[in-house]
Structure 1
Amino acid sequence: MRPRMHFDDVAWERSEAIQDAWIHELFKEETLMAIGRFILKHRRGVPVELGDPKAGAFNVCFRMKFEDGGSAIIRFPKPGATMFPEEKVRNEVAIIRYIHQHTTIPVPFVLHWGTKEENPLGLGPFIIMEYIDHALDLSDVLNTPGFATADRPILNPNIDDTKLQLLYRQFADVLLQLSTLRLPNIGSLVQIDDFTWEVAQRPLSYNANELVRLGTLPRSKLPRANETFQSASSYFNTLADLHLEHLTHQQNDAVDSADDCRRRYIARFLFRKLAREGRLTTSSTNLGPFNIWCDDLRPSNVLVNEHLQIVGVVDWEFTYAAPVEFSHTPPWWLLLEQPEYWPDGMEEWAEVFESRLQTFLKVLREQKDVAIDRGRLKDEQRLSKPMQQSWESGDFWVTYAVRKNVAFDAVFWKKLDCRFFGPGMSTEDDRWKERIDLLTEDERANMEKVVEKKLGETKARVLAWEPDEVETLKPPLL
């Protein structure tokens, strides 16, 4: 049985086709000239050069160089990749300005931004920012030498320990500063005026975007746009429900057999049972305050100069106030690669991660002591101890499973099932058969209905986006 649940390949192909068609239009001369003129309306100076578009996972950027030595970039969410472009842009601008005002983390300076309606180019919502000059991103420095751009990055196993500590230490300072930003409920920030922000929108996560784009989840299954959460347990319940909704609604590549479907179904119901019983959260932090959390905070979004000093942290679009458990989890990106994609399997990933984690916790403790001495951090805001406890207790895997739909099955059966429901007599692949009795009679009956439905869908190979999804993502043209 597959350890991971694959995303819908039909949706993936359609998503990429929409992105490619949209990017192709950007190279037209009249489009480039219009973009250049638009940047000049919001950044003073004599222009020197407008570079070709640079595409990331969710955005396309244009950089305009100026005679004064500075640069500005304009960034557009990519149709086909970004399912909530207006919301994503608004959230990112609010959090960048909040972080800029409350920390010393080097974030981009926002010159101007606007919605689709405010963009005369017809290219959707946008952000114009000062460009942060840099030599490399942190992933380039940490990655294994010789890996091609297309290869998934893996931490260089032979990296010099002094160099690793230098880089980890700076990243640790970013995390410590974020930990000082405490908010009363879970959700995304809305800027009210120059000095006031409120948590007034749902937590728009990386996972929510991918569930709709590649998991073909109906948007109506996500929290409402203005829905926030007053407790960690209520948010964990919602995320556990989404795991089950994902399995139910994704038509292609969700299961590969009847038993595979039963195994995935049981894992999700048991996980939801744990969430509803409050066994996945910590009572002392359940009601907050809550920490700022960025789903996409990783080395590839951290910019460094030629001396390997951090000069910028970018791409804050999937950032929100989240359960404290998220911030108290050791960062998975210490090895660059995620555990579900590790070449030698998740157990091997955990062994390698353990050694690098100790290095990270060492420099985190050192940075914490410096921050406390300088009055930037209170003693109760330490991160090293809760991160160590999260790893040792296995809570690391709880928060990882609740946030990662694709990785959920592997994490549940390898790391959570035995912890919460006791050791089984069967192999990992067959242990689900021992857990059937933990379901109610109605849940078991519903399981067979889901199995029948999913097996019928495997023959269809149709795009399961909502009817208006394709029209919503239609590439806007000048």
Structure 2
Amino acid sequence: MGTSFDAIAQRNAQDAKMAFLDQFTRAKEDIVSFVDSRLGWKQAGKFLGYFIGSFNISIAVQNGETGERALIRFPIPGKVYKSWLEQKVKNEVMVLKYISRHTDIPIPQVHHWGLTEESPCHMGPFIIEEFMEGEDLGELLRKPSDINEDLLVLNPGINNAKLDFVYEQIAGFQLQLSRLEFPRIGAISMDSETGEGKVTGPPLTYDMNEVVGFAGFPAESYTATEPFSRAGDYFSDRARCMQVNLETHRNIGFDDDNITWSRCVARHCFAKLVPVYGNIDEAGPFRLFCDDMRPSNMLADPKTMRITALLDLEFTNAMPAQYAYDLPSWLILRDPAIMISDSKQEFVDAFEPRKDQFIRAMERAEAKFPPAEGQPTLSARIRESWDSGRFWFNLAARSSFDVDEVYWKCLHKEGRGESMLDQATLDDKSEFLKRKKAQFDAYWAEKHNDKRFESS
């Protein structure tokens, strides 16, 4: 019951992406020359290759005399909401510099970065960074397949000692990030002289980018202009935004009335659950959290499985501490929200053995770097989050597309549901369903008349 992208918004984004990629490939030599100049290579820079990810495209450049390599990365319009391109790059640079200074996590060193006016061929904001060696860790862990389109699934035959080693490394990264403290929730910056972190604005998150770019969410409905000071305020704002998403996501109304109404109930219930689950370290300190820290964004040595790099730390913010106290949702590589749509029990049966394995890895990491005296261990916090159901609340809070599925499959209990709704919401049921039906009819007519969909 997860919601799908608005097909028109998705096609608009695809068109913007393809136009940018066409311009990008034609500017290849100018981009290489730009990197050469910025790094002082005296025209020794040579094109090495393209790399494309979920949100960025990169060119690797090599110094033909010294062999040194570097990467220049650009966010892709269409994959990143156009008004946030520069903010995304600036936020990521601040995160990279802060993590580099305060941890030993292997991340690329930033050589140069700039905004659109400094960009080669006006390609948009960019980062020139260290070239990191290694292979995609997700591919090294996945079930072997001859079909590239197969879903990413953890290899059931993987050597447990090998997986233990991978988990312990990632547990160590999570442990380090969980000990970085911030006074507010939002985007961070770093004082260039002291290295201290500051929270300078509201967060820019993965979910914000997705709903604005692919679900018709009006960006101006993100009304926060300052960081959040309390976790409950942040989660209450998330609940408000999920209601805005429900009202503005035009193709939600294609479902029958019962499913459409169940989505409304789920989002109102999520709001009611904020005081139940969204109350860990309410007034801080808050912790650095990356929505997208998963094996597919890590590089490793395929022979030793030593992780050589964490990549793509965009959409990393100081966030409610309870996010940092969760199990990684990717432990079996598949998205929990996708798996529970078929069978929650099937997901739990596959996930729990890896959950226990990861917690043991965290305990080994903590034995090397124990918490301050009197502080609870991260492994204990992780267990509590899973056992209490907070893991599912946090997962729902991070995805407007999956909140309905997660609520009904994992958070709903007797006494919840319609009984939690106020009378005004119940009285509005009929009008709500009419609004969604009219909205979907208008969306369908627009899609039908759009020549780009004639062959689909």
TM-score above 0.5: yes
Normalized against structure 2, the TM-score is what? 0.92
> How far apart are 1:48 and its partner, in Å?
5.3
Whether the 8 Å CA contact 2:252–2:260 is kept in 1: the answer is: no
Letter in 2 for 1:188: A
CA drift at 1:322: 0.8
Superposition pairs of residues 277-316 of structure 1, within 5 angstroms:
278-282=275-279, 285-306=281-302, 307-316=304-313
Structure 2 CA distance for aligned equivalents of residues 447 and 88 of structure 1: 38
Asked if 2 retains the 8 angstrom alpha-carbon contact of 1:251 and 1:454, the reply is: yes
1:412 match: 407
What CA distance in whole angstroms lies between the structure 2 residues aligned with 1:405 and 1:188?
A: 20
Once the two structures are TM-superposed, the CA of residue 157 in structure 1 deviates from its matched residue by 1.0
CA distance in 1, matches of 2:373, 2:40: 42
Equivalent residues of 1:86, 1:125 under 8 A apart: yes
CA RMSD of aligned residues (A): 1.9
Distance (Å, rounded) in 1 between the aligned partners of 2:139 and 2:154: 10
Which is worse superposed, 339-348 or 449-458? 339-348
Q: Hey, what does 2:441 align to over in structure 1?
A: 459
Q: Who is 2:345 aligned against? A: 347
Residues 58 and 77, structure 1, Cα contact 8 Å, conserved in 2: yes
Aligned to 2:121: 121
Equivalents in 2 of 1:317, 1:254: separation in Å?
32
Query: Which string of whole-angstrom CA distances, capped at 9 and with x for unpartnered residues, describes residues 271-315 of structure 1?
Result: 21232xx222235x1111011100110011111124211111111
Structure 1 residues 369, 437: CA separation in 2 closer, same or farther (over 3 Å shift)?
Answer: closer
Residue 422 of structure 2 corresponds to: 440
For residue 426 of structure 1, what is the aligned residue in structure 2?
none
State the alpha-carbon separation in 2 of the partners of residues 245 and 296 from structure 1.
Answer: 24
Residue 392 of structure 1: which of 387, 394, 397 is its match? 387
Structure 2: 5+ residue runs without aligned partners? Answer: 447-456
Q: Contact 1:180–1:377 at 8 Å: present in 2 too?
A: no
Say if 2:249 is the partner of 1:250.
yes
Alignment check: 8 A CA contact 1:51 1:64 kept: yes
Whole-Å separation in 2 of the counterparts to 1:148 and 1:47 = 40
1:208 corresponds to which residue?
Answer: 208
User: What is the match of residue 186 of structure 1?
Assistant: 185
- What's the counterpart of residue 239 of structure 1? 238
Aligned to 2:450: none
Structure 1 residue 27: Cα displacement = 2.1
TM-score normalised by structure 1 residue count: 0.88
Q: Which runs of 4+ in 1 moved over 3 A?
A: 44-48, 376-379, 435-438
2:33 counterpart residue number: 37
Q: Is the 8 A contact 2:49 2:61 kept in 1?
A: no
Q: Look up the SS of the partner of 2:108 in the other structure.
A: coil
**Partner-residue secondary structure (3-state), 2:122:** coil
Q: Compute the displacement of 1:249 (Å).
A: 0.6
Preserved CA contact (<8 Å) 1:43 1:72: no
The structure showing larger relative contact order (alpha-carbon pairs under 8 Å, at least 6 residues apart) is 1
1:5 partner letter: T
Matches of 1:398 and 1:235 in 2, distance apart? Answer: 13
The aligned counterpart of 1:9 is 7
- C-alpha distance in structure 1 between counterparts of 2:252 and 2:266, whole Å: 17
Q: State the Cα distance separating 1:337 from its structure 2 match.
A: 0.8
Q: Distance in 2 between matches of 1:147 and 1:222?
A: 43
**Hey, what does 1:76 align to over in structure 2?**
74
CA distance in 2: counterparts of 1:455 and 1:444, whole angstroms? 18
